[in-house]
Structure 1
Amino acid sequence: LIIPYLNERPDLSGFDNATLFADALNHTPISDFTRTAFNDPLYILYSSGTTGAPKCIVHGIGGTMLQHIKEHRLHGNIKAGDNVFYFTTCGWMMWNWLVSALMMKATIVLYEGNPFYPGPERLWQIAETEKLTLFGTSAKYIDAVCNADYHPSQSVDLSALRSLLSTGSPLSSDGFDFVYQSIKDDVQLCSISGGTDIVSCFVLGSPSQPVYAGEIQTRGLGMAVDVLDDDGQSVRNKQGELCCSAPFPSMPVMFWNDADGHKYKAAYFEHFPGVWRHGDWATLNQRGGIIIHGRSDATLNPGGVRIGTAEIYRQVEAFPEIIEALVIGQNWDNDVRVILFVRMADGCELTDDLKAALKKAIRSGATPRHVPAVIVAVPDIPRTRSGKITELAVRDIIHGRAVKNTSALANAEALDYFKNIDELQN
């Protein structure tokens, strides 16, 4: 099935049994369906490569279908006739998630291109025109709309909108405030988190529970999601590993070219035997809300205390002078010190006054342990092809170690900016 790009009619002579998408729409509806087994393969998804070579993950038909129906109907409150949008590329699992909304008899809307072209109003105009009931995006996008000083509630009609979903990275309390003050004051804001590994969510929204700023509302229905300390014990109001202690429908069927399952088991079950360790550093509070603090393999250890990077990013990205930031821990003087790299906005410089303001904001908004010892401006920050910054690659570079998975990076040349930085030698 060939979908032309930019309305060009491609030459199909090199393909066997090829059909243009427009022609397929005119065909007689399919009446004969092939019966499949529950665990027959549906998708191969590739992890982003932030924590090593990308994993080649095979997902099954039945488990994916059950999980998505649950998330759409029960957690997302999607109904027949709704109009569902998620700003995603076809390479991100949220595209697969979006397509599944067809099972709810909803209309799905997909946008390809720069969400800020010709301006920050673009996606919100689509929300008005298409009468979107669910608008899905990322925390980075919400921050960008806020920094652009654009207020959708003042410009477009969002009366149809019931739910706004955010994922990709933790949504800050300031992001929650912006949504309710400048987008819509009665929308259900769902910060959600899961991943390519499960083509769904471990923690997400609930239409029947209150929303608290900076928190994910609840754990996925039917999933034994928990936070465990280093000893594998369940903890509340304390940071630990986000885990799932029992099987769930959308576990991968297998990894490709992993006949004995060794890579699959090593990826999720070696840290706590028999328990899925997802790799997120999180807190589960007494009322069941969840806060994600960042990737657990990217946590910092100053003074031997593990802290997440998300708290630093929340403070730094509130500064309009800074476009993007990256935090790593550098081994230093028999300890670990926090290093903050920033990419500056056009016309802005990293002055001593700005450094002092950043440290003050981090100290008051997080803790003294989160305050970076060194702040360095860089021209660019390496990210994966799916747009995620890659802290581990930078950590390897500044410690003189080779980066093995540069092919997973969209801008591998940016790693050169982190070599032999004078400020990190003193």
Structure 2
Amino acid sequence: MTVFRRACERRTGQPIPDTAALHRWSLQEPARFWEAVWDEQAVVGEKGERLLVDGDAMPGARFFPDATLNFAENLLRPRPGVRDEDDALVWRVEEAEPRRWSWGALRAAVSRLVEALRASGIRPGDRVAALLPNGPEAVAAMLAASAVGAVWCSASPDFGARGVLDRFGQIAPRLLFSCAGYRYAGKPIDLGTKLAEIASGLPTLERIVIVGDGGEALARQLPNGVALDAFLEPFAPGAIRFEPLPFDHPLAILFSSGTTGVPKCIVHRAGGVLLQHLKEHALHSDVRAGDRVFYFTTLGWMMWNWLVSGLAQGATLLLFDGSPFHPGPQVLWDYAAEERATHFGTSAKYIDALRKSGLRPDESHDLRALRAVLSTGSPLSADGFRFVYEGVKPDAHLASISGGTDIVSCFVLGDPTRPVRAGEIQGPGLGMAVEVWSGDGRPAAAGEKGELVCRQPFPSMPLGFWNDASGARYRAAYFERFPNVWCHGDYAEATEHGGFVIHGRSDATLNPGGVRIGTAEIYAQVERIPEVAEAIAVAQDWEDDVRVVLFVRLSNGSVLDEALERSIRQAIREGASPRHVPARILAVADIPRTKSGKIVELAVREALHGRPVANTEALANPEALQLFANREELTR
């Protein structure tokens, strides 16, 4: 961050004393700021003369409208100090021995895949889909698709057939990469039957490439099936032929979680994603050439796309697939220690579960190489912050980050030059005009809760939604609440320190008696209680109003008796406010969550009221919804 700030001082001829001043300049001169990112990160491509057109339009602004580049070329370019024989990718499945691909091996694999895709007729704009574990073949396939200009879209192999078809069926892919099976919690899981159903539901598929063990046998059972080795066999490694493409060429389609309807297909532009990720990795996360970056994710979560972009910095990616608690809570930390991870990324839910597991990585593992811990997926509580500094590493940079699939990047995130405060995200992203607005469209005061908005364009705004030619659905999703301003749907507050606190999704806020309450404020108090493993709060329609109902999943052996219920109410009353205290508290055996671990308040609310829940295939444990339906306790 400091090196970049000084480079910007030289550009402007004016002092930029700190990150806050740099952020102000990035909003005052957005074209010059993003040009500085392009230049200082040495983007491979032709920048063109124009930097920003229609810069006041949201949507509609165009960054670098004359530029050409290739996303994959910028991730695979040689970096100073990084040798061909150095690790580019390391892959571990639970406790198994890791596999390693050097930079030379990765480039060789991508070069063969590029030629195989072109020989299969894949051209710029064609969709290439993947149903793969988080391994090296997935990374290589994405890079190859991007190299030829195809549009990448992926899902995790634990998605049900209906969930995959709800996503891929909308975008008509021509080619699908899939595994024959995967492992989770020590158990092998076969995909043969599910993949046959998916293949029959995607009539546009011309080729299904099966990756990994069992590929040959499964390929013979599928129409147009081919094992990866046979797909690549005609092509020798060589120089990669990267397709030069416009800045706004579609790079990838990401899918909303889809728990309240069919998933939205969000189309992202190559140049915008590249610039955002370069900025976020190099400046906000301090990722450098030779670093070793881990993020616990699957191909069904935007953090996978974010992780892969770390290659552009010359970093080694530490890939992991399987359960983060098999054979025990130490498995990810064994990996981080053995591979000398410099960055450890995960979800807030994982940090809370680790805290309650009793494991203290700072006592059990050598984490001297670790510089940064990143957390996202849901708000990280103040207790979570304290646990990282007391139980993981006292001198790490803990960066809670928040953005979304919608922008495949962050609105608010870490800043390695500023203090970390428990419970707060450090600040807005450079070039991101992030504010909190009240319902009437005015900026909220520090400490006042409201809607998280971005009032200026930024490069990673999506191109739009698939099959939304008029842009009506896209505009309705983000610009209907406040015209010409991105409204993200997060309930948040800005702090007096310039940081942010996210209190949950706006559409999941609770409004008993007309008072708006963020669910994260309740969870922060409840999940401190040892007997409570996890909680979910929803609004129940009640006597012409709503009341707050809190469901708790208890730790092993705990019982929700009167004493525990009093403790929960007292913790919420004292830690949040009397308004936050739920009307009812009930125990449940499980809480439904998405594949990326987010609890689904809206789906639970629908189940609670006896209404159908759309697209339960998006859930990791859809059977848990039945625990919330027809609860007799909620009729009184």
Under a length normalisation based on structure 2, what TM-score does the superposition of the two structures give? 0.64
Percent identical among aligned pairs is 59
Q: What letter is aligned with 1:248?
A: F
1:376 correspondence with 2:376: no
Tell me if structure 2 keeps the 8 A contact 1:50–1:389: no
Distance 1:172 1:29 in 2: 49
Tell me if structure 2 keeps the 8 A contact 1:53–1:408: no
1:336 correspondence with 2:541: no
Aligned to 1:315: 525
1:8 correspondence with 2:174: no
Tell me if structure 2 keeps the 8 A contact 1:279–1:295: yes
Aligned to 2:108: none
Q: What letter is aligned with 2:306?
A: W
Alignment size in residue pairs? 425
Distance 1:228 1:267 in 2: 17
CA drift of 1:19 comes to 4.1
Distance 1:310 1:411 in 2: 22
Of the three residues 302, 305, 327, the one matched with 2:537 is 327
Larger % of helix: which? 2
Cα separation, partners in 2 of 1:300 and 1:21, compared to 1, 3 Å: farther
Aligned to 1:358: 568
Cα separation, partners in 2 of 1:362 and 1:222, compared to 1, 3 Å: same
Distance 2:298 2:626 in 1: 27
CA RMSD of aligned residues (A): 2.1
Of the three residues 131, 139, 150, the one matched with 2:359 is 150
Tell me if structure 1 keeps the 8 A contact 2:603–2:613: yes
CA drift of 1:401 comes to 3.0
CA drift of 1:51 comes to 5.0
Aligned to 2:414: 205
Distance 1:123 1:190 in 2: 18
Equivalences for 1:11-410 in 2 at 5 Å?
A: 11=216, 19-20=228-229, 27-50=236-259, 52-236=261-445, 237-410=447-620
Distance 2:358 2:619 in 1: 31
CA drift of 1:320 comes to 2.7
Distance 2:352 2:415 in 1: 23
Q: What letter is aligned with 2:462?
A: P
Distance 1:23 1:124 in 2: 35
Distance 1:234 1:336 in 2: 28
CA drift of 1:43 comes to 1.0
Under a length normalisation based on structure 1, what TM-score does the superposition of the two structures give? 0.95
Q: What letter is aligned with 2:293?
A: V
**Greater alpha carbon shift after TM alignment, 323-332 vs 43-52:** 43-52
Unaligned residue ranges in structure 2 (runs of 5+): 1-112, 114-136, 139-178, 183-211
Distance 1:322 1:398 in 2: 21
Residues 279-332 of structure 1 show CA distances to partners (whole Å, capped at 9, x for unaligned) of 100001122110000001111112211010001111111223222211011222
**Greater alpha carbon shift after TM alignment, 2-11 vs 307-316:** 2-11
Distance 1:146 1:182 in 2: 8
CA drift of 1:399 comes to 2.8
Tell me if structure 1 keeps the 8 A contact 2:259–2:616: no
**Greater alpha carbon shift after TM alignment, 195-204 vs 266-275:** 266-275
Tell me if structure 2 keeps the 8 A contact 1:282–1:294: yes
Cα separation, partners in 2 of 1:411 and 1:182, compared to 1, 3 Å: closer
Cα separation, partners in 2 of 1:156 and 1:22, compared to 1, 3 Å: farther
Partner secondary structure for residue 272 of structure 2: helix
Tell me if structure 2 keeps the 8 A contact 1:55–1:255: yes
Partner secondary structure for residue 110 of structure 1: strand
Distance 1:88 1:300 in 2: 30
Task: State which structure, 1 or 2, has the greater radius of gyration over its C-alpha atoms.
Answer: 2
**Greater alpha carbon shift after TM alignment, 198-207 vs 120-129:** 120-129
